[in-house]
Structure 1
């Protein structure tokens, strides 16, 4: 691999998969890349995540370290997971993370080399798409990624909102109980796996994720203080929801002014969600409820006596980005809320999704996409198609912004009718 993708002046930088005994060097490069050199080594976390061939590093042979070995100057990691698509199917995707390039080695093609190698390998493994969380908006579009599942958080002033409205439906005889970290670790994964197919854009949580949040793994720099986890059960004892939150001890003189921050919220049905929100808004001393990551269109403001008590969280923005790798696999997997037919002319710098494609959805919600020679209705690049794929993007808005081209009048509106979904895509997990 190294000879094929070497980059940099004098071809002195080699990109390759790291070995387990290079984890310490790789971890040090991540700290430098994220400008956190003060953070202690995350040995336990890196060991838990190590998978041969899926952690890449760029090694500078012309600038060895004190031990004489080439210095690791860039990092890249990917892992396999399932992405929930409209209709509940889990699409096999390549999740990209830990992408860094040391500031001393920018503009040498290191990110491009690592990304292209990983995406090509993902296609060979059968991944229909790749996903990532973008630290900066303008980095990943050139690799075919498009913003596909934003986050939309809220800050709610409890007094101004008047709390949760009375009379909202809840499960008769339900109960909410605090859980220990051990109970969270034991019961949380199963609950999450039952919830995941209900939410387009959701992804899986690997075992180390649960171990970290239960306090079983130490990750320096991961400031997760002990909070409160509560489970919701129906009258027959069935677990249907979970909330995890912290409360800051803040006072305005003799008056409590505490913010409650929701870190995790899982509800299998609307009645469970109503009960969990009512519980949250009943916690003593809490003046503000902060939920930084909710799905777009979450009905929480409408549950309040005064929706004006809720305002958007300052971190609301694009979040999960998607790169389509196999159009037939991706579009055949999802479901469609309205029948229709559309011909797309797709451009792709890598050629993987490029060409003329006919997308057709039937009245039963199934659909397929096939190559065609017919005249196209819309022309767009693969990044914009990724923005539309999960059902949250607007083809009409992209057309108005000059980011796709209508070749047939009204085609953008037809695309929205075909692809948009009632439940907006949402991924609550960074990775």
Structure 2
């Protein structure tokens, strides 16, 4: 059997997306959610595999701009909507789509590709490494109290209709983005995602709610959340489902979390996606009653090693020669001299007989790229080899980030 791999045409989108839905269990999304993804799909960056008239594979990419260490926004391909029909497994179809996609990304000039995964074991063989982690919290608000910084009581909070304050919330979000690697600057149309709220997906919770934090009439923070009422013999046991909390200063941030912890008739907060260095962990009275769980989030691949390593800054001065292995994208194979500091970097190919300081694959570079995974821990896992004494400590420190990288929303 041969399948034809071709660029997605808009007229084929429904069948193409139906293949994706079936691969993820066959449940159809709510009409408003499906409409949003239809509007956001970039057909010229999407691929379909066709066995005759049947779509048997899907893969797409979004045009993102992602914050990297140093604060720069870098053009990044957000790989998404990848699936292969269960009837066509183990025939190399996923590999053929990944091959075509990475070739296309290189031709477009994308130095970075990122994705989130349903099964983490899949994408390492294509050069993607785990670059960010997310934190899930389940906070017992009957036992946990917050100690807030000076100025918190001066922050004014007010309810707002989410769809009516999108511009104000997006302005706050845009100001937060440069301060944390891994965050995505929302392109036109993506402002609809945070307030997407299909009724059929609420599972007994309220419609999406929004509270704004203000000072002197300026919006300086916001929280998106829902409340799921519940009662038992002890009384009200409602749950606050936190979707997003962003703020421009510590007082506004604390005021929003204090509000969420104090909502009447609730006893727990569920926050599904927070950064692993969330300041909330230092506001709570008992971190053990916050039910913290971490999991992998963003997986990253360097499409062009030289361009990608030059696009970010480095926390301390670094001058190392990297011996990079990349069997899937052989144009990255070889030795690269990286010199950089907090102001910028240069990364140029050098002769293969030049002495190398570190040996690693492009997957390890992907993991370390945003500063959330250290080269030192990868070395202890046997995935980075130090060839010059001292090079590992130098590079590991330089690749670090002052803020843990974090992906604020799926795609």
**TM-score, normalised by the number of residues in structure 2:** 0.92
In 1, Cα distance between equivalents of 2:82 and 2:201 = 17
CA contact (8 A) 1:14 1:60 kept: yes
Specify the alignment match of 1:92 in structure 2.
75
* Residue in structure 2 matching 1:164, options 121, 138, 146: 146
Cα shift at 1:213 = 4.5
* Residue in structure 2 matching 1:312, options 286, 292, 304: 292
Q: 1:79 to 1:234 in 2, by over 3 A?
A: same
In 2, Cα distance between equivalents of 1:77 and 1:317 = 24
Specify the alignment match of 1:101 in structure 2.
84
Specify the alignment match of 1:352 in structure 2.
331
In 1, Cα distance between equivalents of 2:202 and 2:182 = 25
Specify the alignment match of 1:117 in structure 2.
100
In 1, Cα distance between equivalents of 2:399 and 2:132 = 14
Q: Which moved more, 1:135-144 or 1:302-311?
A: 302-311
CA contact (8 A) 1:17 1:53 kept: yes
Q: How does 1:290-309 map to 2 (within 5 A)?
A: 290-309=270-289
Task: Tell me, yes or no, if structure 1 residue 265 matches structure 2 residue 256.
Answer: no
In 2, Cα distance between equivalents of 1:306 and 1:260 = 18
Task: Tell me, yes or no, if structure 1 residue 17 matches structure 2 residue 7.
Answer: yes
Cα shift at 1:301 = 2.1
In 1, Cα distance between equivalents of 2:317 and 2:365 = 18
Task: Tell me, yes or no, if structure 1 residue 130 matches structure 2 residue 113.
Answer: yes
Specify the alignment match of 2:317 in structure 1.
339
Q: Which moved more, 1:340-349 or 1:178-187?
A: 178-187
Match of 1:293, SS state, is strand
Task: Tell me, yes or no, if structure 1 residue 197 matches structure 2 residue 151.
Answer: no
Specify the alignment match of 1:36 in structure 2.
26
CA contact (8 A) 1:331 1:367 kept: yes
Q: Which moved more, 1:329-338 or 1:237-246?
A: 329-338
* Residue in structure 1 matching 2:138, options 155, 180, 189: 155
CA contact (8 A) 1:23 1:46 kept: no
Cα shift at 1:114 = 1.4
Specify the alignment match of 1:232 in structure 2.
213
In 1, Cα distance between equivalents of 2:30 and 2:155 = 44
Q: 1:331 to 1:294 in 2, by over 3 A?
A: same
In 2, Cα distance between equivalents of 1:54 and 1:222 = 32
* Residue in structure 1 matching 2:229, options 249, 253, 257: 249
CA contact (8 A) 2:195 2:208 kept: no
Task: Tell me, yes or no, if structure 1 residue 403 matches structure 2 residue 383.
Answer: yes
Cα shift at 1:189 = 2.4
Kindly provide the CA deviation profile for residues 268-312 of structure 1, in whole angstroms up to 9, marking residues without a partner as x.
222221221122122122211221211112221221123332231
Kindly provide the CA deviation profile for residues 239-259 of structure 1, in whole angstroms up to 9, marking residues without a partner as x.
221111112111232522222
In 2, Cα distance between equivalents of 1:383 and 1:417 = 19
**TM-score, normalised by the number of residues in structure 1:** 0.88
Specify the alignment match of 1:27 in structure 2.
17
In 2, Cα distance between equivalents of 1:40 and 1:173 = 41
Q: Which moved more, 1:98-107 or 1:291-300?
A: 291-300
CA contact (8 A) 1:33 1:74 kept: no
Q: 1:225 to 1:287 in 2, by over 3 A?
A: closer
Q: 1:346 to 1:191 in 2, by over 3 A?
A: same
- RMSD, aligned α-carbons: 2.2
In 2, Cα distance between equivalents of 1:46 and 1:396 = 39
Specify the alignment match of 1:323 in structure 2.
301
Specify the alignment match of 2:43 in structure 1.
52
In 2, Cα distance between equivalents of 1:57 and 1:303 = 48
Kindly provide the CA deviation profile for residues 156-197 of structure 1, in whole angstroms up to 9, marking residues without a partner as x.
212322x1015x133673211111133233323222222111
CA contact (8 A) 1:27 1:46 kept: no
In 2, Cα distance between equivalents of 1:321 and 1:189 = 25
Cα shift at 1:43 = 5.5
Unmatched runs of 5 consecutive residues or more in structure 2: none
Cα shift at 1:215 = 5.0
In 2, Cα distance between equivalents of 1:39 and 1:214 = 16
Unmatched runs of 5 consecutive residues or more in structure 1: 1-8, 62-69
Specify the alignment match of 1:140 in structure 2.
123
Cα shift at 1:151 = 0.7
Specify the alignment match of 1:65 in structure 2.
none
Q: Which moved more, 1:177-186 or 1:132-141?
A: 177-186
In 2, Cα distance between equivalents of 1:80 and 1:55 = 11
Specify the alignment match of 1:180 in structure 2.
161
Task: Tell me, yes or no, if structure 1 residue 74 matches structure 2 residue 64.
Answer: no
